[in-house]
Structure 1
Amino acid sequence: MHIWNRFLYQLAGQLKRAENIIRQRIKRQETNQMKNTEKCYTNRELSWLQFNERVLNEAGNPRVPLAERMTFASIYQTNLDEFFMVRVGTLMMQMNAKEKVIENKTGMTSEEQVKEILAHVCLLEKKKAKIYEQLMGELEPKGIRIINFNRLSNEEGRLLEQYFDAHIAPFLSPMVIGKQQPFPFLANKQLYAIVLLTSQKGKKKTGIVPCSNSVFKRLIEIPTRPGCFMLSEELILHFISKLYPKYTIREKSIMRVTRNADIDAHDLYDEDMDYRDMMEQLIKKRVRLDPVRVELSRKINDEAKQELSNFLEIGTSHIINVKTPLDLSFVFTLQNYLRDQKELFYEKRSPRETPALSMHESILSQVEKKDVLLSYPFESMKPFIKMLNDAAEDPDVVSIKMTLYRVADRSKIIDALIEAAENGKEVVVLVELRARFDEANNIEMSHRLEDAGCQILYGLGDYKVHSKLCLITQKKGDSYAYITQIGTGNYNEKTSRLYTDLSLITANQAIGADAAKVFLALQQGETVDEVSELLVAPKCLQNKVLEMMEEQIANKKAGKEAYIGVKINSLTDKVLIDKMIEASQTGVKIDLIVRGICCLKPQISGVTENIRVISVVGRYLEHSRIYRFGVGDEEKMYIASADFMTRNTVRRVEVAAPVYDPAIRERIRYIFDTIMKDDEKGKEQNAEGIYEDRHINEEPVNSQEIFFQDAYEACNK
């Protein structure tokens, strides 16, 4: 008995040791796999800076017309401004939070991210300075020069001094910081002169002069030299001693402050306050949020920098020296002086009318016969606007329902909805008041629509409504029929000429029924739990995309063809990224067209080697979203409003629509495949996360130019 017990005891010990060995092996495998996948991730913020560098590169691209390169330089700056206002603002708030926030893909803390961002931005600013100098040099032979005082004659200097005394100085408000004058509030993105002063008694003071003023021009033309300009802030800085006659000027610089703009409406929530009033309060509060960056046009000494840091309550590492003008918006004024030199601009392009529709017949009746795809900016938005006008006047139309995120000023779409309401149609419009930096416009628009009799919804408390969805309901005898439009971009006539987007209009009744479910849920302050045709975030999009990716993994394992193709603006959703890594490891071919942020590194051996990532930055902003799963007749295809970002897939209301029409499916494949071949404006990401030039065609391929040529040829057939 004792021998048997000893045997069982020894056996149990051996089994325990074997179990521990197996567990250790599994843990090592999981650790190795984690290490393998960890190197596949790129930090979101650093990836965005890479995107903005690609924009900056277009400013330095000699194949881009000179005046358009100036536009890219300005876009780079405004992009960076918004990045600091929103993303860096968020990170700085996280730094002040009680609990540390760790980025879920690279494991970086908020402090580490801000440090990396500032270091990267300093490098980008040096690159921008070189490109700006190059642009200014190329402008001189074209008759335009931006100069400073060391390039002026004495006579020209006297003329500018007279101009300063008569037209600028009277409108300036120089301040001296002291007990009677505390450090003033510096408005977001406005120009100021900061002056380090010494009084006659030897006391050190600081002076501030606001330089942004609508009374005087930003660009001052030298009277004796047509086409030769000086920036008003440089003129102010040169003659600033005239504003402080009792002081000696020790140092001086132009300064620009960027403030945090990331404020949540929930922070102002008041159940007794009208939602529009609450958003108006948000807009007012935003302008006084904390600084996140200070730019200086000249270096100041460390003591002065520390003093400025104390005044603004911002770290000295956030005070950045910039060798270009701090506000590049003046380049658009310069362009007006170059309009007669057409070779300096892109060739003029106008959206064409699609041959799929006649503008002389009802769009509604035409869509009842076949689905229609509009491709902006190559094709015009006019057919969609006409469809709304037709619906406003059609006696069979009983309702029009739309989600609006960003619309144009003096929008014809808004006019059509107002006309429909005035004609007795039920018009339901969800206006997303939280569309960042468009809140004021959307508030004003909601008043107009409401005054006309439209029923206005203001989105959901926990979810922004970012979908592009329009549902027209017609009475057909004793029943009803739907016409549904699903888009990838905003209902905005202006951006439809600048952004690439897709708009699908269909009479598919199952899609219409799903759209009706979406609007019913929104009207009840809810989100849909189940749909049959559409993909609808936050509950019915990410999980469905995962299922379709899983199908491709299963196909590959079964020896069948498998493919995933996605065109989006940004990729940050770790759940979807991890599933794509799994698919790649299974052997599924994956093509990703990601214009901006991409947190996935492709082409890593054994992990993401089956994934290709390209980014296209060209004349038009790539904005359309396309999802493709499978090949041939089995392929599932969608156009969508949602990027593969967590905010889109689980924190917003987004809609993706299936594409069933064979001709439209073939057209979308052609669009996708042509962009994948783009080696003129397309860059491909390598395994290190670096975007490289592509040389894959005998003749360079510019997808946007091809699509415009296609639209012109189709229109002229």
Structure 2
Amino acid sequence: MSSAKKYINRDLSWLEFNRRVLEEAEDAGTPLLERFQFLSIVQSNLDEFMSVRVAGLQAQSKAGYTKTDFTGYTPQGLIKRLMKRTTRMVREQYRTYRELMRLLAKEGVALTTFRELSEDQRALMTAYFKQIIYPVLTPMAVDQSRPFPLLHSKELYLAVVLQQEDQGSKADEESKSFCALVQVPSILTRTVLVPGRKGSRKVSYLLLEDLIKEHIGLLFSGYTTEAVHAFRVTRNSDLTLNEEGAEDLLQEIEKELRRRRRGLPVRLEVEKGMHPHAVELLRDELEMEDDVFDEIDGPLDLGFLSKFVGMLPNYDHLRYPKLEPVYPEEFEEADDMLSVLREKDVMVYHPYESFEVVNDFILEAAVDPDVLAIKMTLYRVSVNSVLVQALASAAESGKQVTVVVEIKARFDEARNIAWARQLEKAGCHVVYGLVGLKTHAKITLVVRREANTLRRYVHVGTGNYNENTARLYTDAGLFTSHPDIGADATALFNEMTGYSTPHQWSSFAVAPIGLKPKLFELIDSEIEHAAAGRPARIVAKMNSLSNQSMIDKLYEASQAGVKIELIVRGVCCLRPGVPGLSDNIRVISIVDRYLEHARMLAVAGGGEEQLFISSADWMTRNLSRRVELMCPVYDPGLRQMLMNLLQMNLRDNVKARELQSTGSYDRVVSPDLPLRSQFEAEDIPLWKSIAAAFQ
């Protein structure tokens, strides 16, 4: 088979994923305000896709790169196909927006226009504009003496076309139009609450840009407003680092963050009906091509919907029922967590089980006088992180605290730099990642003095140490004092912070050197088991699968008779169900209330099942350009617990979509009773009680 037929293109697969998110916004079975949330996610996903993936393809195209990738696409051909599909998706996105706003109006909440307000309401809104908005606005004229300004990426602007008032009597062909730009201040809320009419229960809001439009003349005295329309520019936001030549990686990243604001324009969105003079000016100044110019029929940047519906009071009946994470029962009655871990390993699954257990693990270690050292990796951290405060406190009390902070985590670089400096001031030893690699492993090591010896306690997770996203993402975390895992954790931190030759791992598989060979070894073992007639099966869960050699190895296993079931939330370049190539491979994707984020791997092992949790997706960047970690689950009860969760995913017939050999996704249809895996997982005893019998 040709490469184009064997593989699905990564970027086209990503668009299919974002379409599945959009389907959740379109699904009438999803609570109304949650549908708005999904619509907001579609927007933020698309913004990142444009500023990183499409930006990279445009750079290749402008450089004259014409080679095809392993899926058969040149940059030029792929851009055209991506933009064509994106345009269709955006049209569908705004059709959904209008339908949802119609349904919300039935519930008594509306985004209205200034002209629909009563006279009293208009007067109040005008007063609000003059007192709160007007002082923040800055009109920016564009002429010979005032050059075109730097437009910030993904910020909302108004293009204002003006004429001098004394030109109104001149012939049209002699009148001259002027153009000015006004940034819609992002520091102010995008939706403005309108005081209600007397006797009305209806709640109305105005969009900030619409309120500015109605009063735009106040900024341009002596001119009449011919037209005013919103627009938005997305720039290339990927960092280009010369890590090898950088004397100080921290300073180099800070420079790149400043350059990001001046990245090349990637996409221009304009409000439908924009004045031709303004369109011509923007396209000329930004040097935009036709295929990255979008005319939008509705408010630009629907990302505001998340905050908008999030602040609506008294509408809980239009949301999912609130989930209160449960504190893991293994630790609930214990005097301290470490005493529990001396007896057994503990697995937790967020968001159903509280992330507070991770915070408590660090907090206990920070105040324990027998704890000598705490070592931790941080990739994406929440704004007010309890963990950072605990680490700082531990260092100030004299403990040896080492933190590997990844300051190259995309779009979190500035925040992570701030955390790193705060930790350094507290006395922590901070390592700013590794040259050429991102540190994506999620691991904490606590070293404690006990009875004239040292014992190591470890937490390994599939998700970030972020208490906010832990309420929104499904992730697994293992707490253990297993000596092999403790020894490997020590060796891993030594490699990340010092000079060490690659370690001979007892339990871990670590990228960029050892993870891919270990995965190949496990798959090859299943091939051997299949040939010998022993149980041979692979169940893997991840966010993305795009590495060509990993896909080829799975094809090889399929052809050898190994049953392969993959739960891949997002990008999947593997083409399942192709006769003679991937007959034994099934791929599903689950998009639901929570972001499926856990990475797990289970292999039958000829009857001796093995199960692993990992920080890594099966993408080239994870396997060869990052420090990633895969850790075995030794406890048979915990293995069974994770298998229970995987089986629930595989049996999902409500929110699961199955990948077809064509690259499209179809909803899973089953004669069985409806099973929605994320809702089933709320019943914690369902997947923990069976597991307990194995312990």
Verify same fold: TM over 0.5: yes
Match of residue 263, structure 1, among 239, 258, 262: 239
SS of the equivalent of 2:332 reads coil
Separation in 1, partners of 2:136, 2:451: 70
Label 1:457 to 1:648 Cα distance change in 2 as closer, same or farther (>3 A).
same
Match of 1:53 in 2: 19
With over 3 angstroms needed to count, the CA separation of the structure-2 counterparts of 1:267 and 1:542, relative to structure 1, is closer
SS in structure 1 of the partner of residue 475 of structure 2: strand
Shift, 1:101, TM fit: 5.2
2:74 & 2:216 partners in 1: Cα distance? 43
Residues in 1 aligned to 2:663 and 2:122: alpha-carbon distance in whole angstroms: 51
Aligned-pair distance for 1:115? Answer: 1.4
Pairwise mapping of residues 14-413 of structure 1 onto structure 2 (< 5 A)?
34-35=1-2, 38-97=4-63, 99-100=65-66, 102-103=68-69, 105-148=70-113, 151-152=116-117, 164=129, 168-198=133-163, 200=167, 201-212=174-185, 214=187, 218-221=191-194, 224=197, 226-241=202-217, 243-244=219-220, 246-247=222-223, 249-266=225-242, 269-271=245-247, 273=248, 275-300=249-274, 305-335=279-309, 338-413=312-387
Alignment root-mean-square deviation, CA: 2.5
Q: Provide the rounded CA distance (Å) in 2 between the counterparts of 1:457 and 1:60.
A: 45
In 1, distance between residues paired with 2:390 and 2:669?
Answer: 47
- Give the Å deviation of 1:579: 0.7
CA distance in 1, matches of 2:396, 2:114: 61
Quote the Cα distance in structure 2 between the aligned partners of 1:371 and 1:155.
65
Select the residue among 602, 624, 646 that pairs with 1:650: 624
Mapped partners of 2:413, 2:311: distance in 1: 34
Aligned in 2, Cα 1:474/1:305: closer, same or farther, shift over 3 Å?
same
The one-letter code matched in structure 2 to 1:254 is: A
State the alpha-carbon separation in 2 of the partners of residues 252 and 496 from structure 1.
42
One-letter amino acid of the counterpart of residue 517, structure 2? N
CA apart distance, 1:240:
3.6
Q: Distance in 2 between matches of 1:667 and 1:531?
A: 25
Shift of 1:95: 1.9
Give the whole-Å Cα distance in 2 for the aligned partners of 1:647 and 1:475: 38
- For 1:630, which of 597, 604, 621 is the aligned residue? 604
- SS of the residue aligned with 1:349? coil
What is the CA-CA distance between 1:713 and the residue it aligns to? 9.8
Query: 1:213 Cα deviation (Å)?
Result: 5.1
Indicate the residue corresponding to 2:171 in structure 1.
Answer: none
CA contact (8 A) 2:154 2:234 kept: yes
Does the Cα contact within 8 Å between 1:626 and 1:638 map onto a contact in 2?
yes
Secondary structure of 1:669's aligned partner = helix
User: Which residue identity is paired with 1:73?
Assistant: L
Shift of 1:50: 1.1
**Structure 2 segments unaligned to the other structure (5+ residues):** 168-173
Secondary structure of 1:369's aligned partner: coil
Quick one: which amino acid aligns to residue 594 of structure 2?
Y
Who wins on radius of gyration, i.e. which is larger?
A: 1
Instruction: Indicate conservation of the 8 Å contact 2:456/2:486, yes or no.
Output: yes
The aligned runs of 1:443-592 (5 Å cut-off) are: 443-524=417-498, 528-592=502-566
With over 3 angstroms needed to count, the CA separation of the structure-2 counterparts of 1:562 and 1:337, relative to structure 1, is: closer
AA of the residue aligned to 1:206? C
Identify which range, 161-170 or 76-85, moves more after superposition. Answer: 161-170
Contact 1:527 1:538 in 2 (8 A): no
Separation of aligned partners in 2, 1:449 and 1:178: 48
The one-letter code sitting in structure 2 at the alignment partner of 1:671 is L
Could you say if the C-alpha distance between residues 75 and 217 of structure 1 is closer, same or farther in structure 2, counting changes exceeding 3 Å?
closer
Deviation sequence 1:149-208 (CA, Å, 0-9, x none): 564567766765565566544543333321011111111111111134455252243221
Task: Give the TM-score normalised by structure 1.
Answer: 0.89
Give the corresponding residue for 2:170. none
The secondary structure found in structure 1 opposite 2:383 is coil
Q: Is the 8 A contact 1:570 1:598 kept in 2?
A: yes
Matched residue SS, 1:266: coil
1:624–1:713 Cα change, 3 Å: closer
Pair 1:221–1:511, CA change in 2 (3 A): same
Gap regions ≥5 residues in structure 1: 1-33
Q: 1:203-258: per-residue Cα shift (whole Å, max 9, x none)?
A: 24322122225367642516536512221212333444554465565544210111
Residue 671 of structure 1 pairs with residue 645 of structure 2: yes
| Contact kept? 1:379, 1:711, Cα under 8 Å | no
Normalising by structure 2, we get a TM-score of: 0.92
Note if contact 1:265-1:278 (Cα within 8 Å) is conserved in structure 2. yes
3-state SS of 1:39 partner: helix
Aligned residue-pair number: 679
